[in-house]
Chains A and B, each alone.
Chain A
Amino acid sequence: MGILEVQNVNKRFGGLQALDDVNLNVEEGTVHAIIGPNGAGKSTLLNCFVGRLTPDTGTVMFNGQSLIGRKPHEINQMGVSRVFQTPEIFSDLTILENVMIPSFAKRDGAFKLSPFAAVKAESAIRDHAEEMLGQVGMLEKRNMIASAMSRGDKRRLEMAMCLAQDPKLLLLDEPTAGMARADTNATIDLLKQIADTRPITFVVIEHDMHVVFSLADRISVLAQGHVIVEDDPQNIKGNPKVREAYLGDAHDD
């Protein structure tokens, strides 16, 4: 029994069958990569996990509870965090505030009316946020306004924001898209370190095969809205179906 179980999920946009009978089983504590060519439905699938989209049919179970019909904030409160393809951060606020907000959300729930409490006095929340910033190597920048940062830093900040919630499941949508090789390797190291030290399950959508084969314990290959193979990395590499659908001309090694 996996932490995330997807069964017979279909999603249609007009004439396009974006997801075609998708089945997926993510084991707890693993890094599960979803790969596939452009337009294969990877992001659509991810959006079905976080409450942005509702599948037409099928079930999505997280820890034995259905995610269908739940709002994004409810799903997050269940322990599912998400890193976006383009970093979604609070760009007008400081980096420290950016990480304190998810900590408050974790502690106080979806809503708490506390107009007379002082952020300044919340030392536990602040310490926790600073610890997370330390983990991604951004502690010394904590008082900067987030919009002033580089794209790579924004990604690391978003990672720290998700980690601050201590999620059970962390969804990463192309965490290295548009990064230089050195930054990509740094991100891989960071993710590996988190995967090794914390009991977090990862679902990673990724284009970069270098990243996928460095991180993944298990890989699902999506093509035209359908999972064509789900297997271990070493088997994926040699699988002819995968080569045909995806690796054939995209693989540059």
Chain B
Amino acid sequence: MFGSKISDSMLMILFVIVVALVPLLAAPFGAGYPALMQFFAIFGIFAIGFNILFGLTGYLSFGHAAFLGVGSYSAVWMFKLLSMNVLPALFLSVIIAGLFALVIGFVSLRRSGIYFSILTLAFAQMSYKLAYSVLTPITNGETGLQLALDDPRILDGERVAGQLPSPTFFGLDMNATTDVAVLGMDVQLNVGYFFSAAFLVLAFWIAMRIFRSPFGLMLKAVKTNQNRLNYTGVNTRPYTLAAFVISGMYAGLAGGLLACMDPLAGAERMVWTASGEVVLMTILGGAGTLLGPIIGASVIKFAEAKLSKFNENVVEAWFSFLPEGLGDSIAFVVAKFVGDGWHLTLGLVFMLVVTFLPGGLVEGARRIGGYLGRRGHKGDLDKLGSNVQGGKSTTAE
């Protein structure tokens, strides 16, 4: 799937099928519950957007969580003031995050390289701190912005007394889940997941169009040689700013969707580790590739959900078949890498990937594909050569 040259429309169809089947595919891994599947889709969107900036132009933003947070706050305000319908909420999320990105990008993009990264980091930390302090009337400080019974919600009619409403898409409750038994597994079909997944598909389609457009080509040219591009008559500033704003809008959409799934917004969504997470997702999956960021986001969210659940007792049970002392000491070490310490595992995996697979998991899959393909047609030397070429390209799937 990764190594071969399939057309974009084929890729799109495959993508839609896989996304639609996620509740079924994730169930055997114990990942088929709504909250995690929603994270797959939402953080997939976040990472796709981040990749439009980082993967194409090479500008490494360390402040994208700010746009995620802004998106969440905007959505919750829309729920409070206007309606529990998710569309106006998402609309405002994207617009406000886009405006934020325009301002922050305009300033940050005056510098490149590490200075750009530091500027974006500074802006994100500023937003985070402001949300806790002076902006408390808007953000509700440490408690986080929540729905309240006395919110105006001017468009919504009758309401159940004493009960907080949940976000809906023209009557479809985001939290509604239908359980279906398939092959003895409990498959959960959640409205929120499919709603987010629809946006993931849209986000992926737009990213694909950008990758294939002259605009995307210019962004790739910025990454490989900005100097040459300037002397080729191209003003690189508006290109990078456009990429920054687009990726900020993606982050705003993701933040808005988070609020649609669970209508509250807190400042911790904007903290710098949240910005770092999307960087990890993109690089782990494969920066500059179309599918990489989504894969990276899913892998990290899956590992987070699974590894952080294990505690020392679970680990001891794994090694109980070993002799007493040995089993205990192995369990002692392994336990440091799970539970709260799952970031250790993440860090280790990240180091290995960056060192041995600079193109991320997608490159790993492509190498395996290339290896299998080579064993398949040994005689076809020409094709072999072109495979090696393809592996070096930065733009392949």
A binds B: yes
- Chain A contact residues, CB within 8 Å of chain B: 50, 71-73, 76-77, 81-82, 84, 88-94, 97, 100-102, 104-106, 108-120, 122, 143-145, 148, 161, 165
B215 adjacent to A102 (CB under 8 Å)? no
The 3 closest A-B pairs by CB, nearest first: A76-B233, A110-B235, A92-B224
Q: Nearest B residue to A143 by beta-carbon distance?
A: B389
A92 to B389, CA, bound (A): 12
5 A-B pairs besides A91-B224, A119-B216 with CB distance below 8 A are: A72-B230, A97-B217, A114-B214, A116-B209, A117-B213
Given A77-B233, A111-B235, A115-B209: A104 in contact with B218 (beta carbons within 8 A): yes
Q: Is B309 an interface residue (CB 8 A)?
A: no
Q: Return the contact of A105 from the options B220, B227, B232 (Cβ within 8 A).
A: B232
B214 touches A82 (CB 8 A): no
Would you call A112 and B215 a contact (CB within 8 A)?
yes
* Given A93-B224, A112-B214: A145 and B235 interface contact (C-beta under 8 Å): no
B212 touches A122 (CB 8 A): no
Could you tell me which residues of chain B, from 194 to 223, have a CB within 8 Å of some CB in chain A? 206, 209-210, 212-218, 220-221, 223
| B225: A residues at CB distance < 8 A | 88-91
In the complex, which residue of chain A has the Cβ closest to the Cβ of B222?
A90
Map CB proximity to A onto B217-250 as digits: 1 under 8 Å, 0 otherwise.
1101101110111111111101100100010000
Point out the residue from B214, B224, B232 that lies within 8 Å of A117, measured CB to CB. B214
Q: How far is the CA of A90 from the CA of B393 in the complex (A)?
A: 12
Q: Are B228 and A89 in contact (CB under 8 A)?
A: yes
Of the residues B213, B235, B239, B394, contact of A119 by C-beta under 8 Å? B213
Shortest distance between the CB of A97 and any CB in chain B (Å): 6
**Interface SS majority for chain B:** helix
Residue of A nearest to B209 (CB): A116
| Known A93-B224, A101-B221, A115-B206: A110·B234 in contact at CB below 8 Å | yes
In the assembled complex, the CB of A169 is this many whole angstroms from the nearest CB of chain B, namely 13
- Answer yes or no: B392 CB below 8 A from chain A CBs: yes
> Chain A residues with Cβ under 8 A from B218's Cβ?
101, 104
Chain A residue numbers with a CB within 8 Å of B233 are 73, 76-77, 102, 105-106, 109-110, 165
Q: Mark interface residues in B111-143 (1 if CB within 8 Å of A CB, else 0).
A: 000000000000000000000000000000000
Q: Are A73 and B230 in contact (CB under 8 A)?
A: yes
Chain B residues contacting A143 (CB-CB under 8 Å) are: 389
Quick one: given A90-B221, A119-B212, A119-B217, are A113 and B242 in contact (CB under 8 Å)? yes
A111 touches B239 (CB 8 A): yes
Query: Which of A71, A100, A111, A144 contacts B217, CB < 8 Å?
Result: A100
Closest residue of chain B to A106 (Cβ to Cβ) is B233
- CA separation between A71 and B233, bound complex, in Å? 9
Kindly state the separation between the CA atoms of A168 and B224 in the bound complex, as whole angstroms.
Answer: 27
Query: By the criterion CB–CB under 8 Å, are B231 and A104 in contact?
Result: no
Instruction: Say whether B224 contacts A104, CB under 8 Å.
Output: no
Q: How far is the CA of A165 from the CA of B210 in the complex (A)?
A: 24
Quick one: given A88-B231, A90-B228, are A118 and B389 in contact (CB under 8 Å)?
A: no
Give Cα distance in the complex from A93 to B210, angstroms: 16
Whether B235 contacts A122 by the Cβ 8 Å rule is no
A90-B213 CB under 8 A given contacts A50-B231, A110-B234, A145-B392: no
For A71, the chain B residues whose CB sits under 8 A away are 230, 235
A116 and B217 in contact (CB under 8 A), knowing A89-B228, A110-B233? no
Q: Mark B364-378, 1 if CB is under 8 A from A, else 0.
A: 000000000000000
